[in-house]
Chains A and B, each alone.
Chain A
Amino acid sequence: MELASAQVIGAGLAAIGVGAAAAGVGYVFGSFLQGALRNPSAAGGQTGTLYIGFAAAELLGLMAFAVAMIILYAR
């Protein structure tokens, strides 16, 4: 296989991780909303925790994206 085609395939495979992180971010916010709608008065104090969970999930997706880009444009 040529290097260029291998790069494109590898970048595409690495980009799968971005979708997985999207599911993770959606799960974080969805769970927060579920809890927040049941007890709205307690929701305000938990936004910090929410953003920590969001950041942890988002970081992995961004890393997958960066890896895909590095594979795609490395030479």
Chain B
Amino acid sequence: MAAATKIDPMHQFQIAPIGSETLEASPFLFTNSALWMLIVLGAILVFMWGGFRRQLVPGRWQAAVEGLTGFVDNITRANIGPEGRKYLPWVFTAFIFILAANWMGAMPFAILGAHPFTVTSQFTITGMLSIISFAIVLGVGFWKHGLHFFSLFVPKGTPLALKFIVAPIEFVSFLVRPFSLGLRPFIAMFAGHILLEVFGNFVVQGLNAGGAMGYGVSLLAFVFVIFVAALELLVGAIQAFVFALLTALYINDAVNLH
């Protein structure tokens, strides 16, 4: 039986310059994260431009693009109201970036010899997205309502005695929101890719070990990997949807202060 090598599922999340293994202490490096962000951007541009033909009767491609934009437009309109149109550009940007990055990272490019990198599996990326969302929330809130925006922390109709308890709780809950918003897509991608890596390694190690036991484990792990990969596509879409939905809800808090 071949000696089992130690599985290292964290290696896939390593950011390094192209063609190197370690990150040097220089801010000007073209890393794999940057490369895959550009690839994601290219994929989004190709997809969107393909749908910009403005035919009266949309073809398949245009229908796909219109369905996606209409879906996000519906999220903002249902949650923010008629004013939601103004915030559609950011909500759609975040939605399609997270969606495309999640799906590009889950594609089996490794068969072609490339090393796919899931951009959203780094908290720096999703954290920045959630910080931008909260900059919009705070900016809009203070711009529209001034210091009256602080009444966000006191729900309407709270009895005076309860106000002193509810306000700190609401305040803490507001402070935690950017973290949970950014943490969610990151953790989902992180956990899913660890799972894929660990069970992918089980397939290889089972084949190396040989014997009925080894091949059986290998086959089971292979079936499991297929299901997890399908689940990963679903989770990638749900996380993008949830990010857009929560962003719209938080902006709604700022726009329509109760």
Q: Is the CB of A69 within 8 A of B191?
A: yes
Instruction: Report the stretch among A26-34, A35-43, A59-67 that lies at the interface.
Output: A59-67
Q: Which residue of B lies closest to A48 (CB)?
A: B245
Bound-state Cα–Cα, A48 to B72, Å: 12
Question: How many pairs of residues, A versus B, come closer than 8 Å at their CB atoms?
Answer: 45
Which single member of B10, B183, B187, B242 contacts A52 (CB below 8 Å)? Answer: B242
Chain A residues near B239: list those with CB within 8 A.
55
Q: Is the CB of B191 within 8 A of A59?
A: no
Q: Digitize B180-219: 1 where CB-to-A-CB distance is under 8 Å, 0 elsewhere.
A: 1001100110110011000000000000000000000000
Q: Is the CB of A48 within 8 A of B187?
A: no
B136 to chain A, nearest CB (A): 19
Chain B residues near A55: list those with CB within 8 A.
184, 238-239, 242, 246
Q: Which residue of A lies closest to B188 (CB)?
A: A62
Chain B residues near A63: list those with CB within 8 A.
183, 187
**Interface positions of A from 2 to 55, Cβ below 8 Å from B:** 48, 51-52, 54-55
Q: Is the CB of B183 within 8 A of A59?
A: yes
Which single member of A51, A52, A66, A73 contacts B8 (CB below 8 Å)? Answer: A73
Q: Is the CB of B194 within 8 A of A69?
A: yes
B139 to chain A, nearest CB (A): 24
Q: Is the CB of B78 within 8 A of A48?
A: yes
Which single member of A48, A51, A66, A69 contacts B238 (CB below 8 Å)? Answer: A51
Q: Is the CB of A66 within 8 A of B191?
A: yes
Q: Is the CB of B79 within 8 A of A48?
A: yes
Q: Is the CB of B187 within 8 A of A66?
A: yes
Please judge, given known A-B contacts A48-B78, A48-B245, A51-B238, whether A62 and B10 are in contact too, CB under 8 Å: no
Chain A residues near B241: list those with CB within 8 A.
51
B178 to chain A, nearest CB (A): 14
B237 to chain A, nearest CB (A): 11
Chain A residues near B242: list those with CB within 8 A.
51-52, 55
Q: Does B59 have its Cβ within 8 Å of any Cβ on chain A?
A: no
Q: Which residue of B lies closest to A45 (CB)?
A: B78
Q: Does B67 have its Cβ within 8 Å of any Cβ on chain A?
A: no
Interface centre among B183, B187, B190 (most CB of A within 10 A): B187
Chain A residues near B187: list those with CB within 8 A.
59, 62-63, 66
Bound-state Cα–Cα, A53 to B239, Å: 13
Chain A residues near B81: list those with CB within 8 A.
none
Q: Is the CB of A51 within 8 A of B245?
A: yes
Q: Is the CB of B190 within 8 A of A66?
A: yes
Q: Does B58 have its Cβ within 8 Å of any Cβ on chain A?
A: no
Q: Which residue of A lies closest to B195 (CB)?
A: A65
Bound-state Cα–Cα, A51 to B191, Å: 19
Please judge, given known A-B contacts A59-B180, A59-B184, whether A69 and B245 are in contact too, CB under 8 Å: no
Question: Could you list some 10 contacts between A and B, CB below 8 A?
Answer: A48-B78, A51-B238, A51-B241, A55-B184, A59-B183, A59-B188, A66-B190, A66-B194, A73-B7, A73-B10
11 additional contacts (CB under 8 A) given A55-B239, A55-B246, A62-B184: A48-B78, A51-B238, A51-B241, A52-B245, A59-B187, A59-B188, A62-B191, A66-B194, A69-B194, A73-B7, A73-B9
